[in-house]
Amino acid sequence: MTWADAIRLAARSVLRRPARAALTIGAVALAAALFTAMLTMAETAQSRVLNQLAKGGPLAGIQVAAAASDPSQVGIDNPTQGPPKSLDPAALARIRRVPGVGGVFPIVTAQSLVIWPQHALATTGEGAGHGRSDNVDFDELVGVNLTHVTDLPVTVTAGRLPKPRSLTEVDVTSVFLARYGITRTHVKSAIGSVVQLGAPRGFLESDGSKVFRTQWTEAKIVGVVAQQVGSGGILASLPLAQASHDWTAAGDPSVDPDAPRSPYAGLFVIANGLDQVPSVRAAIATIGYSTSAPENLIASVQRYVHVVQIVLGGIGVIALAIASLGIANALLAAVRERRREIGILKAVGARDRDVLRSFLIEAGVMGAVGGLIGSILGLALAGLVAEIVDRYLASQGLAGVHVGFPYLLGIGAIGGSIVLALLAGTFPARRAARLPAREAVEL
Amino acid sequence: MRTRQLEGHRWQDQPEIPPDMTTSSAVGSEGVAISASSLSHSYQGPSGEVRVLEGVTFHVPKGGYAALVGASGAGKTTLLALIGGLERVQSGSLLVGGRDVAALEGDELAAFRRTTVGFIFQNFGLLEALTALENVELAAVLAGERSAARRDRALRLLAAVGMSHRAAHRPGALSGGERQRVAIARALVNRPHLVLADEPTGNLDADTSDEVIQLMESLQEHRGCTLLVVTHDQALARRASLRLALDRGGIVESSRSATGEPMP
């Protein structure tokens, strides 16, 4: 008997008892759905938690501060920084050459006066009227290379990023907006507002008096971000931040001794994998700069999430195993009912292995169909849960979760269902194969 | 002499034996479809061993039409099961087409059942999940035969038994007579040399029985195969050229017409 004929015969036998087949397949499908949904959600939760830890950047990201390293703090996720230390292009070049470094991105910050539009104070957000009455504040402009933003700990929660070389567009953080009474749920209302940004510069006048003059720029808010590349509330293109920084840094140090003069406020370094992070951090510390990275936290979380995945996967496998017992039960019932039919099959020339194969195919078909339906259901269920979570996060002004479609997991669920079904079907199939041909006749 | 190749063995078509050669002393193995000698068989019943057959000896010539008669419990179906390889031979010798059935095991025995014998059961033995055409094809399917060839042959056989119009129907949609016609077609699909029919008219009314009997006889005559019919219908038994009567596990009568025609 060819495989095609065996499969056709088995499929006919399965369809002969449609209600029983549907219930058996349904049990497998539910188990496979449970297995797929739980592991997909665990995977999504892991990526969400790790993404949160990495602030939206790569897991192997390292923050380098314009500060001296403290040898006693090496290996600590968030070490105490040493005294300020200028971070310039030469240092950047040295760090870029460190083995295990995949990328280095400079961060430029600039002090900035911010004038929030008066009309916006009165009209935007549910907190309008409850926020501050003055519209002038002081903040920090954070400039990064926005063409590589996917490599940086920056997450857009509303709107978009400024264009990479724009001098007139900025994003702001929700913390920045909160100062003006705009809550997380209404951050979108700030998009389109125009703010005045002023870079201060200290001057020592000829009469010895100290004055500040400000270079003003008008910028439109085009998005809201969660960003951790710097402490400022305004994210700008590198040229805009650089211009402001350079203006301020060129001031008289005796007038404004606190003005940042290091060319870079920090660097964001990406190591070639989590395992490379410790050695890269050690090398940067040797060069003389303080670093921070959530490597230990990420490793701990990964371990815990892995345990959760094993537990959830185990529950799914147990569910599949229970469903497989259903297959075994259905097939045993079929063997009991079809003794005469099996005898007839043998009387017309079926070999033991033909009968064995036919029953195993029946088990495999039920496992495969159940696994396929279950995988689709499981992914749909995970997507539904993610949608609900997404809506909640969005209502909180946070970035949503992304549910990937783990095809390998789906294939694994189908494969696992088939394997378990075949294992469950082995005993009934062997019993069927051993039935004597005399079952065909009534002796 | 013609030699036909079968799966792993050869069935030797021999010249017809003379009509009177129906006993062990009268015939050799050549030209004999079935040769049973001192065949005994027993079952383990709840109250001990039950002897079903006791020293059965008989021969059926190739191309013959034999009827096995006897009361219920006489051992007819057991003897049929032994001849067809459904039951293992316990003692004595049983040659079918010159082959020692007792020596066959596993795949060889399956191949024997598939190609050497064709079964017609009292309750038809059709698989409910398959259509009439697929039931007829089944034995060829098990032989691994190509789809087109086996389908063509099955269709021709259904036509031969007058069931072409019911090819796509499942057994549940067929009458008893129609099911038995399909069963006859299935028994013949692998061109067996021996057709074993176990009470083929047992579940049919008189008119339908006549039709089925005539159909079997016609096909047997047309195809030249040996036909052994188990029955307790004396009228049917008289139509055979050889009648074997079983009683209490033994052959009590072995008679045949002198002409090879049905007995009076």
**CA–CA min distance B30, chain A (Å):** 25
pLDDT at A381 (0 to 100): 86
pLDDT at A398 (0 to 100): 64
Q: Which residues of B touch A345 (CB under 8 A)?
A: 127, 138, 142
Mean pLDDT value of segment A80-103: 90
| B141–A contact, CB cutoff 8 A | yes
Do the Cβ atoms of A436 and B81 come within 8 Å? Answer: no
Percentage of chain A with pLDDT > 90?
A: 26
Do the Cβ atoms of A436 and B119 come within 8 Å? Answer: no
| B80–A contact, CB cutoff 8 A | yes
Percentage of chain A with pLDDT > 70?
A: 92
| B190–A contact, CB cutoff 8 A | yes
* Residue carrying the six token digits 């009268």: B26
Is there a contact between A124 and A222 (Cβ–Cβ < 8 Å)? no
pLDDT at A231 (0 to 100): 80
Q: Quote the Cα angle for A397-A399-A401, to 5°.
A: 135
Rounded Cα distance between B19 and B61, Å, is: 9
**CA–CA min distance A22, chain B (Å):** 17
Q: How buried is residue A122: exposed, middle or buried, by Cβ count under 10 Å (0-12/13-18/19+)?
A: exposed
Contacts (Cβ under 8 Å, ≥6 apart) of A94: A287
- Residues of A engaging B, defined by a Cβ cutoff of 8 Å: 1-2, 5, 9, 12-13, 15-16, 340-341, 343-352, 354, 436-438, 440-443
Please report, as a single letter, which amino acid is at residue A288: G
Instruction: Please give the distance of CA A132 from its chain centroid, rounded to a whole number.
Output: 36
DSSP one-letter string for A46-113? HHHHHHHHTTTS-TTEEEEEEEE--GGGTT-SSPPP-SB----HHHHHHHHTSTTEEEEEEEEEEEEE
Do the Cβ atoms of B77 and A441 come within 8 Å? Answer: yes
Is there a contact between B13 and B61 (Cβ–Cβ < 8 Å)? no
Kindly tell me if the per-residue pLDDT of A157 is higher than 80: yes
Crossing angle between the packed helical segments B147-160 and B176-188, to the nearest 10 degrees: 130
Of A340, A346, A441, the CB nearest to B198: A441
* Nearest by Cα to B72 from B25, B111, B120, B122: B122
Best mutation target, B7, B72, B141, to test chain A (most A CBs within 10 A): B141
In order along its 264 residues, chain B shows pLDDT tens digits of: 333 333 333 333 333 323 333 333 333 345 777 888 888 999 888 888 888 888 888 888 888 888 888 888 788 888 999 999 998 889 899 999 888 988 888 889 998 998 889 988 888 889 888 899 999 998 888 888 888 888 998 998 888 888 888 899 999 999 888 888 899 889 888 888 899 988 887 777 777 777 778 877 877 777 788 889 988 777 788 888 888 888 877 877 777 664 555 554
Q: Quote the Cα angle for A253-A259-A265, to 5°.
A: 135
Rounded Cα distance between A356 and A426, Å, is: 8
Of A1, A13, A352, the CB nearest to B142: A1
Contacts (Cβ under 8 Å, ≥6 apart) of A404: A43, A44, A47
pLDDT at A210 (0 to 100): 87
Q: Which residues of A touch B105 (CB under 8 A)?
A: none
Mind listing the pLDDT tens digit for each residue in A407-440?
A: 788 888 889 889 988 998 999 999 999 888 888 7
Indicate the average pLDDT of chain A.
Answer: 85
pLDDT at B8 (0 to 100): 32
For residue A406, give both structure tokens: 């783990």
Interface of B with A in 86-105 (CB under 8 A): 86-87
Kindly tell me if the per-residue pLDDT of A404 is higher than 90: no
According to DSSP, the residues that pair with A88 across neighbouring strands are: none
Mind listing the pLDDT tens digit for each residue in A230-286?
A: 788 899 999 999 999 999 998 888 888 888 888 999 999 988 887 888 899 989 999
pLDDT at B184 (0 to 100): 87
Mean pLDDT value of segment A86-111: 92
According to DSSP, the residues that pair with B95 across neighbouring strands are: B35, B100
According to DSSP, the residues that pair with A196 across neighbouring strands are: A115, A218
Mean pLDDT value of segment A55-66: 80
Contacts (Cβ under 8 Å, ≥6 apart) of A220: A168, A169, A170, A192, A193, A194
Kindly tell me if the per-residue pLDDT of A119 is higher than 70: no
* Structure confidence at residue A131 as a pLDDT band (50, 70, 90): very low
pLDDT at B7 (0 to 100): 34
* Structure confidence at residue A325 as a pLDDT band (50, 70, 90): confident
Is there a contact between A60 and A276 (Cβ–Cβ < 8 Å)? yes
For residue B212, give both structure tokens: 């089925």
- Answering whether pTM is above 0.90, one says no
Cα dihedral A424→A429→A431→A434 (10° resolution): -150
Of A5, A350, A443, the CB nearest to B78: A443
Mean pLDDT value of segment A72-77: 76
pLDDT at A162 (0 to 100): 95
| B124–A contact, CB cutoff 8 A | no
